[in-house]
Amino acid sequence: MLVSKISRHGARIIKDLTRGHLTSVSKMAQSHAFCNHYLQPLDGEEKVINVPIEMSMLEAALEHDIDIEGACEGSCACSTCHVIVQDMEYYNKLEDPTDEENDMLDLAFGLTEKSHLGCQLIAEHELDGIRLALPSAI
């Protein structure tokens, strides 16, 4: 599992460098910022979680003991971390799901037009305040 987290972290750095979000890997190391996200877990009680910038929503939910499966450990190979963005304002700030993510979303329970995989939603300042729900919590 540690190797999986390290490889995802490295892939995220490369993705951000190619998008121009980072100018160097050292900039990533210096970033210790957090943002707040609201997650409505299976019990229906919305929780505020403080998420480090660059962390996936799947990782954040697991760290905050929110009941989400993530069977593939965040490798975009299942749909068990399916979340639904509650506000169109935030959904419009997100990049469209990749073909790989869409393939997995096709298998998800409770799919909506605002669905994403939690492992593919990465915390960033622009998403501070985003509200996410797990499908069975709606």
Q: Please tell me the distance from the alpha carbon of residue 62 to that of residue 121, in angstroms, as a whole number.
A: 14
DSSP-derived secondary structure letter, 56: B
**Residue 84 amino acid letter:** I
Query: Which pLDDT does position 135 carry in this prediction?
Result: 86
Please give the angle made by the CA atoms of 31, 66 and 22, to the nearest 5 degrees. Answer: 20
Per-residue confidence in pLDDT tens, the chain, 138 aa: 444 444 555 566 566 556 655 444 444 444 458 889 888 876 678 999 999 999 999 999 999 999 899 999 999 999 999 999 999 999 999 999 999 999 999 999 999 999 999 999 999 999 999 999 988 744
Query: Which pLDDT does position 26 carry in this prediction?
Result: 43
Query: Which pLDDT does position 45 carry in this prediction?
Result: 84
Contact between residue 62 and residue 95 where contact means Cβ atoms under 8 Å apart: no
pTM over 0.75? The answer is no
